[in-house]
Structures are given as C-alpha cells and as structure tokens.
Amino acid sequence: MIEVEHLYKSFAGVNVLEDISVTFERGKTNLIIGRSGSGKTVLMKCIVGLHEADRGAVIFDDRNFVEMSFTGRKELRKEMGMMFQGGALFDSLSVEENVIFPLNLFTKMPYDEKRERANICLKRVNLDNVNKLYPGELSGGMKKRVAIARAIVQNPKYLFCDEPNSGLDPKTALVIDDLISEITHDYSITTVVNTHDMNSVMEIGEKVVFIHQGFKCWEGTREEILDSDNEYLNDFVFASNFAKKIKSLTSKNS
C-alpha cells in the first residue's frame, strides 16, 4: 500500500501539484488519469523520489520515503519496478541485456537462469525473436513492452507504469493492460498506472484517481466513473461528440 499525503510540487514557482492525498492499494491496479500536462508524470516521479516533493509525505507500507536517506531510498527502490513514458531503455545494450541488467547487479543467479528469467518476461509482453536487437531497432510500442519486461524482471512489490499503452494499437494495448492487471493480482503487488486511455480505465481500473491541473479532482472505481456528475471528469471521459451523444442517449433511456 502506498499513501500519499498532502503532496505539493512546483517548478520555478509554478505549482504543478497541489495538495494531493491518495492511497494506492495492494493487489489492485490503481490508475492516475488526466489530460496531457495535468501532472501525472510529475506525481508519479514525486512518489518514487525522482522529483523531490516540496511538501508532503509518501509512505510505502509504513516507511516514509520522503524522510529516508540516500541509501535507505536505494534499498527501497529495489522493491520497485518502473516503466517510463519513453521506455528509457539503455541504448548500448541489446533487448535481452536490458532486461537482464537489474539481475546482473543485484542477484547471484547463474547466467542461464538470468536469461531464462528474461525470456519469460519478454514472452509475457508478447515479444519473441527480438532478444538480440538494440533499442534503436525497435518500434515505439516494442520499446514500451521491453520496458515493462525490465520493470517486472525482479518481481517488484510496487510497480509503476507511465502510459504503458499510449502509441500501441488497441489489441496490443489490451494485452499490456491485461498483463499489468494479471501481474498485479498474481503477486499481489501495488500497481500505479498513468494513462489517458479510457479503454484501459474501463478494462483494468480498480481504483481511479483523476488529476486536473495539478489537483486531485475525483477518485473512485471504474463503475462509478460513468455516473459521476463531476464536470471536469465528464469533460475528460466524454471528450468526443460521439461519446457525449452516447451518454445523453443512455441517460435518456434509463
């Protein structure tokens, strides 16, 4: 479980996050949704300490991350896996080496076992026969999938995914969503996913937090989303005219 308490963050005097308090539960896929530029990535990076929050606390199962020392944080980070928006794969390493990388540094596994573990993870994200390719030779969606494989290779207790399926075709996006939700339930980890894809929200959003211009605007489950009367949320969820029409039709019928 991750508890975020009264988190503030600003860049050069501009407030990006204001008074965010939210709890991400264990064994559930927690989604952070919001328009582009609303502060999702910044919030995620504040939670994992890549951005220093101005104020507030982030508590990982009773351990206050914000107050920890450099070494303490390093240890706690070994329990986290993170997939970045752009993939952040190491350019100089092949796909397989990228996935094996965390194992090399922190385990004493023999090489064959490490490779096997990497291959299992790559299979889970539907990647075959790319082991020897370099990140420069992959498509954007493939990079994301390798990044997810790398994030889960160490069996993390906390998994963070920044827009895991933006730029993927709907079918692969679904596979990724299911994969994330499967891992979350199988190993009972605390998963936080940034997204602005409504398909993912409806598919895997067990808990949904809506961020609007740096404020937490709404939170609830995916079922509650459609009936909410929060103006900003409705604006986000029913962004297209098509969706608005469907909503007005269904509400007339009921």
Partner 1 sequence: MKNISAFGKYIIFITRVFSKPEKTKIYLQQTIREIESLGINSIGIVIIISIFIGAVITLQTRYNLESSWIPLYLIGLTARDTILLEFSSTMVGLILAGKVGSNIASEIGHMRITEQIDALEMMGINSASYLILPKILATMVFNPILTIISMVVGIFGGWMACIVTGALASSDYIYGIQYWFIPFYITYALVKTVVYAFIITSVTSFHGYYVQGGALEVGRCSTRGVVYSSILILLADVVLTQLMLA
The DSSP 8-state label assigned to residue 194 in this structure reads: E
Q: Interface residues for ligand ATP in 158-197 (CB under 6 A)?
A: 196
Residue 168 backbone phi and psi in degrees, to 5:
-105, 155
Q: Which does 34 bind (CB under 5 to 8 A by kind): partner 1, Mg ion, ligand ATP, none?
A: ligand ATP
Q: What's the one-letter identity of residue 84?
A: F
Provide, rounded to whole angstroms, the least separation between the CB of residue 34 and ligand ATP: 5
Classify the phi-psi angles of 180: left when phi > 0, otherwise alpha if psi is within -120 to 50, otherwise beta: alpha
What number of other Cβ atoms are within 10 A of residue 199's Cβ?
13
Q: Is 41 in the site for Mg ion (CB under 5 A)?
A: yes
Q: Which stretch binds ligand ATP (CB under 6 A): 33-41, 152-160, 229-237, 243-251?
A: 33-41
Provide, rounded to whole angstroms, the least separation between the CB of residue 45 and ligand ATP: 8
Distance CA 78, CA 91 (A): 22
- Of 46 and 152, CB closest to ligand ATP: 46
Cβ proximity of 190 and 27 under 8 Å: yes
- Of 138 and 211, CB closest to Mg ion: 211
Q: Which does 16 bind (CB under 5 to 8 A by kind): partner 1, Mg ion, ligand ATP, none?
A: ligand ATP
- Element spanning 78, H or E: none
Distance CA 65, CA 231 (A): 34
The contact set with ligand ATP (CB under 6 A) reads 11, 16, 34, 36-42, 85, 196
The contact set with Mg ion (CB under 5 A) reads 41
